[in-house]
Amino acid sequence: MKKLSSAKLNEFFAAIAASRALYLPVDNSRGKAEYKKWEAGVEMSRALNTVRSAKDFFFPQTENLMEFKMEGKKVEVVDTRSEAEDFVIFGVRACDAASFKILDSVYLTDPVDSYYKTRREHGVVVTLACGKPAETCFCGVFGIDAANPEGDVTAWETEGGLMLRANTEKGEALLEATAALLEEGDEAAVQAAQAKTREILKKLPLSDLSTEGLGVGKTAELFDRPEWKTLSEACLGCGTCTFVCPTCQCYDVRDFDTGNGIKRFRCWDSCMYSDFTLMAHGNSRNSQVERFRQRFMHKLVYYPDRSGGTFGCVGCGRCLSRCPISMNIVKVMKTMGGKN
């Protein structure tokens, strides 16, 4: 355990940024936190969560895959990837850190997604334990401890500075590289901070939310429930919930004619859209109720079925705060799981 005094925080950031890119939550012009590259004068946001999750660093919203150069009948495939930068993401919360495991299970399973894999290898994740969880938080429902997040390095805010614990070889190397700024930490201070956070978590409105009635083996029981129609009636199909979700992994692959060849790229897609997985014969889910059911069955039943019981949600609460008609996974869990 190491300690970084508050007075040395910017020196710490500068030391990291001297050898690699450093990204951290920064308040934008609307007072919302989003990840920005650190440079001198940039102040870290104290917001609980960024508007969009840290998954952007490993699975960006848009990404060039390759280009095709054509000359007559000759087609040249061009790999457009450049050397990946080494980078550090600072201030990742426990929910977002847990989402990386879900993304890993999709993109690092054969056939491995080499684009995602490269970013994971070059990235170092420094998590920050939550000090003041919000009323929309329910990560504990899925076994995530907001007071003890995973990551290459875990940080806790305590009086006078940060306590830092390396959890991986990457984390050890990061703290070793900044050792001149660190001193021996106080385990008791960390335990006190954890206890305070856990007391808050117990009192949150969603602390007693249950996954009973959901998960492995529930497809047949839940698929044809009439409540899906009622729940989906107000849904606008806007896809906001999927774009702020740290675990959504769907994408579309598109080609763009540059006038001098074809550029192939991928971009996030949403199962809530009417043209999602559109094929020549049409769409396999033609109604909003079918699309709505697909989204939540995937999070709460299909993914657990093939992932040893792990749910496809990390309880970050972003969909609760961003949905324009206040329809979210919590309402679905309470209705379909039969728990209020």
In whole angstroms, what is the distance from residue 246 CA to residue 183 CA? 34
| Residue range 251-277: mean pLDDT, rounded | 90
Is pLDDT of 286 > 70?
A: yes
Q: Give yes or no for a contact between 45 and 33, defined as CB atoms under 8 angstroms apart.
A: yes
Non-local CB neighbours of 36 within 8 Å, separated by 6+ positions: 23, 24, 25, 26, 42
pLDDT tens digits for range 207-251: 999 999 999 999 999 999 999 999 999 999 899 999 999 999 999
Considering the entire predicted model, what is its pTM? 0.92
pLDDT at 313: 97
Q: Tell me which amino acid residue 61 is.
A: Q
Is pLDDT of 278 > 90?
A: no
For 25-51, the DSSP string reads EEE-TTS-EEEEE--TT------SS-S
Lowest mean pLDDT among 42-51, 79-88, 100-109, 238-247: 79-88
